[in-house]
Structure 1
Amino acid sequence: MTDPCLALLRSRPELAETAAFPFNFDVSRAYHVEDVHLASGASLEPIAGDDTGGTFFLSGGTAVLYASSEGDAVLIADSVGEALEMQIRLPEWCENVTEDLDEEAMRAAVRASDDEAREEYAPDLDGQRAALLSGLGLPQRPLVELFAMTESAARRTEPDHLLLNSAELCAYRLDDSYRMCLRDVVLGPGRKVLRRMRSGDLGAAEEAAADPVLRAGVLRAAQFDRRHDDLPLLRPLLEAECAVRTERFEERRLAAVLVALHGQDEDVPLLRSATTGAITDRAGAVAWARAEETRRYGRDIATASEFIWTDLAHRQGRVEHARVALIRMLDDTGPDAALLRELSRALEGIGDHAQAARAQFNLLSLQDTASDRASEAYVLARLERRKGDLAAAGRALGRARAAVGLGGPPPDEGVAGWHRRGLGRLITEQHLELTLAAAETGDAELAYATMEHGDVLLGTIGKESAKALSPLSTRARWAVAALPAPRA
């Protein structure tokens, strides 16, 4: 349903003209300088523009996001009506309005700025403001309240309203004062439960012991807020970690460090179990814990890896929070192969294959050896296929084949024997997966070409690998057989 204020502007030219000048909300300029979309995938509709090339968007159906032509974007209101009230009553020329002003001082600041606007280009400003407010049926709430609403909106830009350049997938900038602090978001539940545990709330301890994700947050909170009398609280957490053995060991090791640092003989059996026999006595427990603390479990929260928080956010179901942090990190990452690899895997883990492919493409460009190029190229192919760009996936597989010497000069010594190793199976598997995907979309040319390469690979890799891929290769061949023959 169209917002009532927006509908009025679109149907009443006199209101639209006044909104456009002097209040710089021009519904005739409902377009942006480049293609953009929200990282969250929510709806985005340009509804107006200003005289600087900036654009007002309806973001997520109701909220209003403003994007400048210079690459900045910020949420300004929860509705078009609120955005217009801000534009009309706290217009852009009121640069002297700040949050530390009370209502009287804010009104005085607006009057002073209005005087300059009247003198320079808007002599009938008061009449235009009154007519537009009345015509749109907008309230005249206190300026302090209105300013607080806009500040609140700006602080809620992330995670749901992060704007991306659609071509390059880079995020629009947001002032640091409005940026989300992921660490505080994901540590919030753990900190709250830890406070309750320290106050003697037995229910809080039971909640933490029963919920592995909450327990992870409590342990991280305890890691960066050490108390000498926390040992009785930490033991049950370590016991809970030891009771459920999963592929995740990070929290178990952290809990063991926090307990071992207290150096109590009675904890040695539990610590021996938690560390698979690495700890056998009290002195060894303290030495081990101090070494682990120095290596990866320090007390300075400012030095903690951002991936701790993105992983915890993902486990808590805060996928958009994790996505924003990872995209911001990727935007700021230079030619750092280790960081790009971690970003690629983390973005793939939350299901953002487009951003993962962006990181992986940059990672691939940094590889020096044929073996590494082949390894990273098949990963890029997987990501491109999953994001839906089958042609790009095909190009990535071409780079993988070139790296191992298929259809070109022989590979270097570092990749010799690739076909007998897991690398050969993985590259072949991606060819078969891409063949199926191309067949499903009706791209006969790509399906036939990729299956042809797949057949060569199946005859090249080890027999056991080819046998393991037999069900997939059979499906791929049947899919290709159902397609029309490619044009000569």
Structure 2
Amino acid sequence: MTDRFLELLRTRPELADAAAFPFNFDVSRADHVEDVHLASGAQLEPIAGDDTGGTFFLSGGTAVLYASSEGDAVLIADSVGEALEMQIRLPEWCENLTAELDEEAMRAAVRASDNEAREEYAPELDAQRAALITGLGLPERPLTELFAMTESAAGRTEPDHLLLNSAELCAYRLDESYRMCLRDVVLGPGREELERMRAGDLGAREEVAADPVLRAGALRAAQFDRRDGDLPLLRLLLVAECAVRTERFEERQLAAVLVAAYGQDEDVALLRSATSGLFTDRVGAVEWAGAEEARRHGRDIGAESEFTWVELAHRQGRVEHARVALIRMLDDTGPDAGRLRKLSRALESIGDHAQAARAQFNLLSLQDSARDRASEAYVLARLERGKGDLAAAGRALERARTAVGLGGPAPDEDVAGWHRRGLGRLITEQHLELTLAAAATGDAALARTTMAHGKVLLKTIGKESAKALSPLSTRAKWAVAGL
């Protein structure tokens, strides 16, 4: 359905001209300087541009996102009508507006800026503004309300309106004051439940004890907000963690640390069970808790790993929040192999194979040994295939083959015996998976070439590995035969 305000601008030239100058919302300039898309995959449509090369987009169907030609992007309104109100009544030349101004002060600031604009380049400003407000049917709301609306929109840019450069997959910049704080987002439910438990809410105790995700949030909240009277609650959470051994060890360890720090004799048996007998008395429990706090479960929330909040967001179902945080982290990461590996795996776990491949490609470039190059290359192939770039997956597998010496120089000493170990099976498996994917898309050349390499690998790797891959190999061979 076409937006009413856009339809008016597109069908009434006098309104379009006034919107374009002096208010810099030009529907004839709806072409951005580069290909972009939303990280969430939601709909993105350019609707207007300005004289600096910036572009206004419909983001997610109705909201308006502004992207500059210099790599900044911010949500400015929840609708085209609101965006036009802001452009017309709070135009870009009004640079000194702040939330601290009341209505009278804000109007005075706009008047002063308007006077300068009239003198320098827009003598018909008042008539143009009036014509647009009347012609578009815009409301006459208070300027303070309009300013608050645009500030509110900017603060909601993340996670749903994060703009990416489509070629490099890097995120557009956003002022720190508007950036999402993932830590506060994911700790919110845990903090709320912890306060309910502290207030004696039995329902909250039952809910948290029964829900591993809520327990994780409550434990993290308690880690950074410790109270003298929390021991009974923490015991309850530790018992719940111990009762479900299939749940994550991290939370059980944290719950044990929080309980052990109180140094109560009556908790020693429970703590020994939770920690597989790491200590035998109260003194040992306190010492162990202190060591764990110093190592990984301290009280300084600022020192906690960003990956903690990403993982919790993922478990809470906040995939877009996790995606935004990981992309921002990746953009800020230099040649740090350990961090790139974590980012690659975390992005893959939320299903963002494109961003995971970006991290993995950078990680592969940092590997010094042939074994490490082969190991990271087959992972890159898996990610490239996951994002649908089968040719790139083929190139990654070529790098893996080169690293182990197939079809080239003898392998380095550090990778000797690769074919008899798990690495051989993993590389072979990726060849067979790529063969199937290429055949499914009708890329006969890639399917046949990859299968030919796969056959060589099946003869090279250990017999047990080849046997385990036999069903996959048979499927790949039949897929190629059917091309």
Give me the TM-score of the superposition, normalised by structure 2: 1.00
Rounded Cα–Cα distance in structure 2 between residues aligned with 1:272 and 1:452? 56
Which residue is 1:105 aligned to?
105
Which deviates the most, 326-335 or 266-275? 266-275
Which residue is 1:351 aligned to?
351
Which residue is 1:260 aligned to?
260
Percent identity over paired residues: 86
**SS across alignment from 1:230:** helix
Which residue is 1:395 aligned to?
395
Rounded Cα–Cα distance in structure 2 between residues aligned with 1:426 and 1:410? 20
Rounded Cα–Cα distance in structure 2 between residues aligned with 1:79 and 1:246? 47
Rounded Cα–Cα distance in structure 2 between residues aligned with 1:415 and 1:156? 49
Which residue is 1:180 aligned to?
180
Which residue is 1:124 aligned to?
124
Rounded Cα–Cα distance in structure 2 between residues aligned with 1:279 and 1:39? 48
Which residue is 1:62 aligned to?
62
Which residue is 1:50 aligned to?
50
What one-letter code is carried by the residue in structure 2 that aligns with 1:227?
A: R
Which residue is 1:377 aligned to?
377
1:202 aligns with 2:202: yes
Q: Give the RMSD, CA atoms, in angstroms.
A: 0.6
Contact 2:224 2:299 in 1 (8 A): yes
Rounded Cα–Cα distance in structure 2 between residues aligned with 1:278 and 1:247? 20
Contact 2:268 2:280 in 1 (8 A): yes
* Equivalences for residues 73-472 of structure 1 within 5 A: 73-246=73-246, 248-472=248-472
Rounded Cα–Cα distance in structure 1 between residues aligned with 2:306 and 2:96? 36
What one-letter code is carried by the residue in structure 1 that aligns with 2:276?
A: T
Rounded Cα–Cα distance in structure 1 between residues aligned with 2:201 and 2:482? 65
Alignment deviations for residues 165-197 of structure 1 (CA, whole Å, 9 cap, x no partner)? 000000000000000000000000000111111
Shift of 1:227: 1.1
Rounded Cα–Cα distance in structure 1 between residues aligned with 2:116 and 2:210? 63
Change (3 A) 1:14 1:49: same
Which residue is 1:486 aligned to?
none
What one-letter code is carried by the residue in structure 2 that aligns with 1:418?
A: W
**SS across alignment from 1:56:** strand
Contact 2:72 2:174 in 1 (8 A): yes
Contact 2:212 2:247 in 1 (8 A): no
Alignment deviations for residues 283-326 of structure 1 (CA, whole Å, 9 cap, x no partner)? 11111111111110010001110000000000000000000000
Alignment deviations for residues 137-175 of structure 1 (CA, whole Å, 9 cap, x no partner)? 110100000000000000000000000000000000000
Shift of 1:279: 2.6
Rounded Cα–Cα distance in structure 1 between residues aligned with 2:368 and 2:124? 67
Rounded Cα–Cα distance in structure 2 between residues aligned with 1:37 and 1:257? 44
Rounded Cα–Cα distance in structure 2 between residues aligned with 1:479 and 1:265? 65
Rounded Cα–Cα distance in structure 1 between residues aligned with 2:48 and 2:354? 29
Structure 2 gap segments, 5+ residues each: none
Which deviates the most, 299-308 or 195-204? 195-204
Rounded Cα–Cα distance in structure 1 between residues aligned with 2:401 and 2:123? 70
Rounded Cα–Cα distance in structure 1 between residues aligned with 2:471 and 2:266? 55
Rounded Cα–Cα distance in structure 2 between residues aligned with 1:273 and 1:350? 33
Shift of 1:201: 1.3
**SS across alignment from 2:400:** helix
Alignment deviations for residues 451-483 of structure 1 (CA, whole Å, 9 cap, x no partner)? 000000000000000000000000000000001
**SS across alignment from 1:108:** helix
| Superposed structure 1 runs of 4+ greater than 3 Å apart | none
**SS across alignment from 1:65:** strand
Contact 2:241 2:247 in 1 (8 A): no
What one-letter code is carried by the residue in structure 2 that aligns with 1:289?
A: A
**SS across alignment from 1:47:** strand
Contact 2:313 2:322 in 1 (8 A): yes
Shift of 1:117: 0.5
**SS across alignment from 1:394:** helix
Rounded Cα–Cα distance in structure 1 between residues aligned with 2:436 and 2:114? 65
Which residue is 1:36 aligned to?
36
**SS across alignment from 1:164:** strand
Alignment deviations for residues 226-280 of structure 1 (CA, whole Å, 9 cap, x no partner)? 1122101100000000000115210000000000011111111111111112132
Alignment deviations for residues 47-101 of structure 1 (CA, whole Å, 9 cap, x no partner)? 0000000000000000000000000000000000000000000000000111100
Count of residue correspondences? 483
Rounded Cα–Cα distance in structure 1 between residues aligned with 2:77 and 2:277? 57
What one-letter code is carried by the residue in structure 2 that aligns with 1:199?
A: A
Alignment deviations for residues 121-142 of structure 1 (CA, whole Å, 9 cap, x no partner)? 1111111100001100110100
Rounded Cα–Cα distance in structure 2 between residues aligned with 1:319 and 1:228? 35
**SS across alignment from 2:229:** coil
Alignment deviations for residues 187-223 of structure 1 (CA, whole Å, 9 cap, x no partner)? 0000011111111111111111011001000000000
* Equivalences for residues 18-29 of structure 1 within 5 A: 18-29=18-29
What one-letter code is carried by the residue in structure 2 that aligns with 1:12?
A: R
Rounded Cα–Cα distance in structure 2 between residues aligned with 1:466 and 1:277? 42
Rounded Cα–Cα distance in structure 2 between residues aligned with 1:281 and 1:414? 47
**SS across alignment from 2:157:** coil
Rounded Cα–Cα distance in structure 2 between residues aligned with 1:250 and 1:157? 32
Which residue is 2:71 aligned to?
71
Rounded Cα–Cα distance in structure 2 between residues aligned with 1:158 and 1:54? 19
**SS across alignment from 2:76:** strand
Alignment deviations for residues 307-347 of structure 1 (CA, whole Å, 9 cap, x no partner)? 00000000000000000000000000000000000000000
What one-letter code is carried by the residue in structure 2 that aligns with 1:13?
A: P
What one-letter code is carried by the residue in structure 2 that aligns with 1:95?
A: E
Rounded Cα–Cα distance in structure 1 between residues aligned with 2:420 and 2:304? 40
**SS across alignment from 2:460:** coil
Rounded Cα–Cα distance in structure 2 between residues aligned with 1:90 and 1:417? 69
Give me the TM-score of the superposition, normalised by structure 1: 0.98
Rounded Cα–Cα distance in structure 1 between residues aligned with 2:204 and 2:376? 45
